[in-house]
């Protein structure tokens, strides 16, 4: 059985920064994620979205932030196990043993869980159940794929309005459909999209998707109207949110608060040598931001280093002091 100092479960921003910092501490590291690419929710859900609350970047696109984090982590030469879910945790002689979906078993000195929301599944669009063709999507990883297309976005949350704003300059047309008059999205995002002139149909839902093999249009049922409205569409973006759960982590015996893992101020969980950082971690006063996750990742790695080697110093010094 191969052994490493540290396992990082989750290749989102917190996990990638933890991978870099683990190398700074001289720890051999495995970064595991069920998704096939690093970046976690950013890569899967909003790679083209601008992010404004990361220190040092007045604004940075999600995809670029992930690329920077991957390059930074590469300085520490982590070993990636992507598209391979961690299934089980056991202890042998006090050390964590992780079993993966493909049958791999590895021994570690410590484990840091940075799994964000855990595994997530898009909420389905009911009208898509009877449509077997192409053109219904739940995320927009590549804006350019929708150039000169008619796009109908279904939803009233931040993702729906972010994608409406991002697609407006390149799509032939963009329309947003929401089943209520009120939106979950940030008020500023709603104002920006309205000011762009994007049509917003409220108290409505997509009743039927038209097309043979590919989407060609939609029928929209509006509350109080007897007949459905028909609009052209090449793509229907179902931005209806997602459901999330901890998957196998939920049966490990971790102390949980719903779908979050409880930690103390050192990021330690109730299980020996297991720490948690980023959105998946929870403690009184927690604020779920990428910036918070970066700090927790460094705290987790430093405390894991001491768990692995009790003679190690908790604080390794500043990176600027490293010749």
138 is in an annotated binding site: no
pLDDT tens per residue, range 136-161: 998 887 889 999 999 999 999 888 99
Q: How far is it, in rounded angstroms, from Cα 177 to Cα 142? A: 21
320 is in an annotated binding site: yes
User: Between the CA of residue 15 and those of 117, 257, 272, 317, what are the distances in Å?
Assistant: 13, 21, 19, 21
Q: Residue 119's pLDDT is what?
A: 63
**Neighbour count for residue 312 (Cβ, 10 Å):** 15
Q: Residue 42's pLDDT is what?
A: 84
Distance, CA of 301 to chain centre: 21
Q: Residue 233's pLDDT is what?
A: 96
Q: How far is it, in rounded angstroms, from Cα 317 to Cα 25? A: 10
In degrees, rounded to 5, the angle at the alpha carbon of residue 232 between the alpha carbons of residues 230 and 236 is 100
14 is in an annotated binding site: yes
More confident residue, 42 or 64: 64
pLDDT tens per residue, range 21-53: 999 999 999 999 988 889 888 877 777 778 888
- Taken in order of first residue, the domains within the chain and their CATH numbers are 3-120+242-321 (3.50.50.60), 124-238 (3.50.50.60)
User: For 11-25, 59-73, 125-139, 196-210, which range has the lowest pLDDT when averaged over its residues?
Assistant: 125-139
41 is in an annotated binding site: yes
User: Residues 311, 291: contact at Cβ < 8 Å?
Assistant: no
- Where does the pLDDT of residue 120 fall: very low under 50, low under 70, confident under 90, or very high at 90 and above? low
Distance, CA of 236 to chain centre: 22
User: For 40-49, 164-173, 284-293, which range has the lowest pLDDT when averaged over its residues?
Assistant: 40-49
Using the structure block, give the residue that is written with the tokens 């979050």: 260
The DSSP element (H or E) to which 15 belongs, if any, is: helix 13-24
User: In the sheet that 256-257 helps form, which strands lie side by side, from edge to edge?
Assistant: 256-257, 260-262, 281-282
Phi–psi pair at 128, nearest 5 degrees: -80, -10
pLDDT surpasses 60 at 172: yes
Burial class of residue 298 (count of CB atoms within 10 Å of its CB; 0-12, 13-18, 19+): buried
Q: How far is it, in rounded angstroms, from Cα 220 to Cα 177? A: 8
- Where does the pLDDT of residue 218 fall: very low under 50, low under 70, confident under 90, or very high at 90 and above? very high
**Neighbour count for residue 265 (Cβ, 10 Å):** 9
120 is in an annotated binding site: yes
Q: Residue 182's pLDDT is what?
A: 94
């Amino acid at each position: 059985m191969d052994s490493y100092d540290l396992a990082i479960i989750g290749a989102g921003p917190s996990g990638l920064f933890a991978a870099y910092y683990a190398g700074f501490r001289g720890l051999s590291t495995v970064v595991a994620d069920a998704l096939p690419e690093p970046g976690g929710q950013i890569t899967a859900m909003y790679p083209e979205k601008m992010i404004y609350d990361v220190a040092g970047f007045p604004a940075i696109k999600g995809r670029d932030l992930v690329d920077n984090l991957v390059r930074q982590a590469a300085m520490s030469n982590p070993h990636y196990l992507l598209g391979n879910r961690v299934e089980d945790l056991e202890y042998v002689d006090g050390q964590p043993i992780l079993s993966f979906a493909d049958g791999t078993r590895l021994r570690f000195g410590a484990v840091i869980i940075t799994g964000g929301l855990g595994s997530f599944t898009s909420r389905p669009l009911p009208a898509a159940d009877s449509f077997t063709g192409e053109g219904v999507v739940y995320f927009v990883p590549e804006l350019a794929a929708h150039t000169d297309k008619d796009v109908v976005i279904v939803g009233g949350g931040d993702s729906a309005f972010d994608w409406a704003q991002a697609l407006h300059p390149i799509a032939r047309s963009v329309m947003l459909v929401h089943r209520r008059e009120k939106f979950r999205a940030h008020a500023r995002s709603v104002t920006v999209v309205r000011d762009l002139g994007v049509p917003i149909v409220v108290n409505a839902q997509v009743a039927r998707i038209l097309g043979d093999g590919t989407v060609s249009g939609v029928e929209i049922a509006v509350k109080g109207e007897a007949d459905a409205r028909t609009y052209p569409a090449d793509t229907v973006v179902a931005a209806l949110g997602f459901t999330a759960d901890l998957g196998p982590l939920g049966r490990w015996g971790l102390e949980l608060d719903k779908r979050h893992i409880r930690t103390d101020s050192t990021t330690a969980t109730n299980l020996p040598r297991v720490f948690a950082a980023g959105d998946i971690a929870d403690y009184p006063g927690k604020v779920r931001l990428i910036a918070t996750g970066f700090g927790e990742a460094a705290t987790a790695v430093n405390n894991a280093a001491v768990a692995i080697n009790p003679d190690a110093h908790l604080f390794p010094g500043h990176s600027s002091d490293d010749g």
